[in-house]
Each structure stands twice: as structure tokens, then as C-alpha cells.
Structure 1
Amino acid sequence: MTAVAMTGSAPTPAADLPALVARLRAHPSIRSKLCIADAARALGLTPASPGAPGDDAALIPAAHGWDLLAGEGFIPAFVADDPWFAGWCGVMVNLSDIAAMGGRAVALVDQVWAPGAEAAAPLLRGLRDASEAYGVPLVGGHTNLSAAEPGLAVSVMGRAAAPIRGDAAKPGEALIALADHRGGFRNFDNWCAALDAPHARLRGDLDLLPQLSEAGLTRAGKDVSQGGLVGTALMLAEASGVGLSIDLSAVRPPEGVPLERWLRAFPSFGFLLTAAPADAPEILSRARARGLAADVIGAVTPGAELRLLHGPASALFWNHAAEPYLGLARPEGLHD
């Protein structure tokens, strides 16, 4: 069988779609999200629970609009292998979660474990450096310097006036991908476009998301997480009770990056949004004006199937009604 296209956005041969789907479905970054369903069941959480579990951040009504609360924990091997970058990511990914909800971050707290002060130092430097770069303060946390191995978790608080929700995609909307291609891979499939970026650009790029939502251009989306573009699209589809089609010929990886790797990559700046087709050009224009890659890559459809398309060929990636992914699907009848 011919190999899937390996560079740039070169077309994926139609005959390879079933094999590509099989590899993506089996990949650890996509399968790892299945554990969320186990945790939700154990905690008795449903989409109707306070905070709307399953989204990028908990959504809490407040006098000013909405409070947002999110947190991230990190794989110990990642923290041990690259502690400074792990600390940076502790800030970066939390701020991405707040932006994905159409919000602006207010403050962060960290939880750090290490065998001693020397082992903790690069981890703490990464946290401090990212906090300064993004302009969001670290206001405290928890520290244990007597642990057997390094560990890290970070939490963030934010606010939103017009939330972007992971359960609000509607059939007929366009599916839009936003990403920053000005970077490279660092650790596993992590695409980092933040380390060399001017701080003002980092802050402005994240603020694009609440600007789009406050302008009424989008109301549904998610940040592209460890599950990559396809895993994130599946979470968006399931939570919204819709299907999605992704046109692989419209997906643009960074120059030289294999399409298959990009479909499962975890970018430092990457978002999926849905919007009325008439609003999509304005979203693309605003993102491209900031030097970001922005493309309509598919559409929201009725049903429960996430399908990958290439030309006339179509392959089913997942049916979330037949095989739940996170198990946090919204109730029927909420698209009105």
C-alpha cells in the first residue's frame, strides 16, 4: 500500500484513508483521552453537572459573566526529561484552555514535587519564565521537595463575557482550524511555537479567541490538545451531539511536517472553531493578519460520525453514538 503523504500538505491518496484511520485510532495520544470517561463515571459527572464537565475549562456563572477554572497535570517522564519546558508548558497549556473558552486568564497556581531544591529549580524557572512571557501571575500553590521523583500540576482561573463552548457546534457550520506554524517539535509530538515568539505576540494571539467570541463570530470550539486535531474534533463532535467531516486536502501542516503527524500533534497554539459559513472569512482574515495559519477544514454535520475525506473518498474515523469517546455527550434537542 502506498504510504500516506509525508511532507507539507501534499494530498493523502484516497486508497490510504482506511489505513490512516486505523493508525490514528490506535495512537496513544488519541486513545489516552478514553480515561476521562472512567474518571467522569467514578466522580458521577455528567454534562449537566456544575461547570459543564468535558469542556476545556469549568464554566461558572458570575456577576460579571462567567468564571473559568481549569487545570493540567503532566506525565512524570516528560517532567523528568525536560523540566524547564514542562514548567513552561504548565503555564502555556492552561492559558490555551482559557482562551479556547473565549476567556482571559486572571491567575495561576502550581503544584510541584521534586527530590530537592536543585531538582525543582529548572521546573520553577520554566513556570516563572512563561508567567512573565504571557503576563499572567503565578499567585501561589503547593510545593513538596521530598518527593521520590519530579511532578507537576498547574491550575488557572479566568473570566469570559461570551464563552466559546465545546458543546455548542451546530449542523451547517464551518469547521475552522487555527494554528501557529512558526515553531518546531519538542518532546514527543508537542509542536512549540512559543519559545522564540515576542511576548506581545503571544498575548495578542491568545486574546484573538475572546475577541472573536465577543464579536459574535463563533460560539463553539476547543483547543487542540494531546489528542491532536482529530481527537479534539471528536471531543467537539461528541459534546455537541453532532457529526463532523474533515477534508484532509484542506488541512495544512507546517512546512516539512507529515500530515499524519500533524493530525495527532499537540500544538502550543492550535484551536478548532465552528462558525456560520458567512462568518468564516472574517475569522480567517483576523487570524491571518496575526501571521497564524487559518483554514476552513470541514463542516459540522447531523448525526454522530466523524469522517475524514479526500476528494471523493470518505472514511469513518469514529461514531461517538455507537462508541462513546469521553461519554460526556450533551442531551438531544439542544441545537435550537
Structure 2
Amino acid sequence: MTGLANLAATLAVHPHVTGKRDIDTVCSALGLGQDTPGRPGDDAAALPDGDGWHLLATEGFMNDFVADAPWFAGWCAVMVNASDIAAMGGRATALTNALWAPDAATAAEILRGMAEASAAYGIPIVGGHSNLRTDRPQLAASMFGHARALITSFDARPGDVLVAAIDLRGSYAGDSDNFPAFLGVDPARLRGDLALLPDLAESGLVHAGKDISQGGIAGTALMLAECSGTGIEIDVDKIPRPDGTALDRWMTTFPSFGFLLAARPADVPAVLARFAARDIAAAAIGRVKAGSTVALCDDTVRATLWDHGARRYLGLAPRKEPADA
């Protein structure tokens, strides 16, 4: 087995990648699919409102993460939702949260993180739920936004170029796979960077994509491929990554600013130029193809990571038209 085949096999069973399969379980239990309101599988629910779309995103956080890194968890309640709204081509408008903690002292750092991120991103916290008499800290948050043009998980087409845009001006948070690039950064830069996404959508340069989430580049590409009913081929040598970072770790890293975007070949230079103007690393890293396989490749080897036609991932692939009787 080649090194690339080993990498593909390792990623296919990595907890960050397989963890996304929980979405299949939940959507199946609720009877949700691509044709239900909000279209589960996208980074946020999109509801038509006449002159665009209302957007609603929600994030919940692992209890251990909230307990071990309360300020960071509070910041992420804002940042991760803001990224989801931007990934849809939207602009965030407000946040609500649900917070549980044993006491006010435990909650204080979580709330400080949320308040500081709210100020940095310019997104007001407008309400929520709180309980300071529980046995452990827990946190979830929802964000509202609006889009005039959508970037969706469902519209990648064969022939599109896959672009990765990732802010590499950060570092790993300890031994975790989180890669924050927001610490000590001018809030104006954070806001301007996120504004790139709705600008790209409204200019018609990008029509499909997702933010790079806990599944990393590997899981995010797989979600995009299945939801769009396509295959994706990723050239691992083209992926922007920090110097000295192992490829296997980077493929499952959760960057604070990272997106996989599908664009027409003729539009790729303009897309890359938009990110370069803000010193964000961006590159064409692959192709959207007909079929159902997500594969890794280099100059000589191609290795299948997952075939969502043979083994469902989110379970949100487009429904096939019934064959004529």
C-alpha cells in the first residue's frame, strides 16, 4: 500500500471524519433530507424571505472542551457560527446562546469569551438560556444571518475547481487539532476576512462550498461531494498548510478560518486574487468530478478516501429519480 493509500485509509476511520456520520442518524430519525425546509447538510439553514435568505446556524460544544478551555469555548460559540453563516454567503446579524454551569464563577470565563468575540466580530448577543445550577458546564449557541446570494453544499458540479482558502497566520492550540488564527488580531481584519465570502457569492464567483469544520479538509470535502451528488479529487501537494505541519494532521485540522469552495475554472484566478489581497492562503487543490468517490492524488498515485455511493456518509445525497417501470 502506498503512502497516499495509507493516508486515505487512515482518514476514512479518523474520529473527526467518522464523527460527522452522526448527522445521518439524526436526520433519518427526524425524516429530514435535501427536500425538507432549510436543507440539512448545509452549514446553516437557509429560508427564502423574498429578497434573499434568512440563515440560522447552531453549534454545540463537547463538555470536556467547555470545561478545559472555557474562554476559548465562549469565543468559538461566536466564531464558529459566524464562519457557518459566511460559508453560506451570508452576513451574521445576531446570536443567542444556551449556557449551563455549576455556578457564576465557572460561567464567567465562558461569558467573557463570548462577549469579547461578539465585540470583535460585531455580532450582538441578543438573548438565550442560562442555568447556573448544573453539575457541569455546557454550551450551545445559534446565530442568525442573511444572504443575498447563496453558497451551498448542494451545488458543486462536475468540472468545477475545488479551492481551499485557509488563514495560516495562526498556530495549533496545544496538542489539539484546533488551529486558531484570531488571537491578538485586529477585529477589523476578522470582519473583513469573513466578508470575503458573501462578496464572492454576490459577485457570482463561487456557488458551492463549506467551511472546514471538525472533519477537517477530508471530512468537509466528503460532505460537499455527497450533498452535491458528485465526486471530488484532491491533489494533496496543492493544499495550503503551515510549514512543518504533517499532512495527516492537517487533513483533520479545524482552522478558525478555512473554506472549501467550488468555482468555475474561468473564475478561479479572481477567487484566488480576492483571498491573496487579504493575505489569506488560497489555492486550487482539486476538481469536482462525476461519480461518488472522494479521492486523494499526487503526480503518480490516486487513492480513494470514501465512496459515498457505496457507503453513505451524511445520508444527504440527492435523491435518484425512480427508473421507468
Q: Shorter-normalised TM-score: what interval?
A: over 0.9
Matched residue pairs, number?
320
Tell me which residue corresponds to 1:91.
78
Say if 2:42 is the partner of 1:51.
no
Alignment of 1:1-336 (within 5 A): 15-186=2-173, 188-332=176-320
Whole-angstrom distance in 2 between the partners of 1:211 and 1:22: 37
Whole-angstrom distance in 1 between the partners of 2:172 and 2:77: 17
Tell me which residue corresponds to 1:9.
none
Whole-angstrom distance in 1 between the partners of 2:320 and 2:251: 29
Whole-angstrom distance in 2 between the partners of 1:332 and 1:299: 23
Counterpart amino acid of 2:149?
A: A
The CA deviation string for residues 120-148 of structure 1, in whole angstroms up to 9 with x for no partner, is 00000000000000000000100000010
SS of 2:265's equivalent in the other structure is: coil
SS of 2:25's equivalent in the other structure is: helix
Whole-angstrom distance in 2 between the partners of 1:55 and 1:267: 18
Whole-angstrom distance in 2 between the partners of 1:252 and 1:69: 30
Structure 1 residues not aligned, in runs of 5+: 2-14
The CA deviation string for residues 236-292 of structure 1, in whole angstroms up to 9 with x for no partner, is 000000000000110121122111111110000000000010000000001011000
- Give the C-alpha shift of residue 332 in structure 1: 4.5
The CA deviation string for residues 273-320 of structure 1, in whole angstroms up to 9 with x for no partner, is 000100000000010110000000000000001010011200000000
Counterpart amino acid of 1:301?
A: K
- The TM-score, its normalising length taken from structure 1, stands at 0.94
Cα RMSD for the two superposed structures: 1.0
Kept in 1, the 8 Å contact 2:168–2:281? The answer is yes
SS of 2:151's equivalent in the other structure is: coil
- Give the C-alpha shift of residue 113 in structure 1: 0.4
Q: Percent identity?
A: 53
SS of 2:11's equivalent in the other structure is: helix
Give 4+ residue runs of structure 1 displaced > 4 Å after superposition.
none
- Give the C-alpha shift of residue 63 in structure 1: 2.5
The CA deviation string for residues 4-23 of structure 1, in whole angstroms up to 9 with x for no partner, is xxxxxxxxxxx201111121
SS of 1:195's equivalent in the other structure is: coil
Counterpart amino acid of 1:152?
A: L
Whole-angstrom distance in 1 between the partners of 2:209 and 2:305: 19
The CA deviation string for residues 55-96 of structure 1, in whole angstroms up to 9 with x for no partner, is 100010102310000100000000000000000001000000
SS of 1:212's equivalent in the other structure is: helix
Whole-angstrom distance in 2 between the partners of 1:248 and 1:142: 43
Whole-angstrom distance in 1 between the partners of 2:95 and 2:32: 25
- Give the C-alpha shift of residue 186 in structure 1: 1.2
SS of 1:94's equivalent in the other structure is: helix
SS of 1:157's equivalent in the other structure is: strand
- The TM-score, its normalising length taken from structure 2, stands at 0.97
Whole-angstrom distance in 1 between the partners of 2:50 and 2:121: 26
Structure 2 residues not aligned, in runs of 5+: none
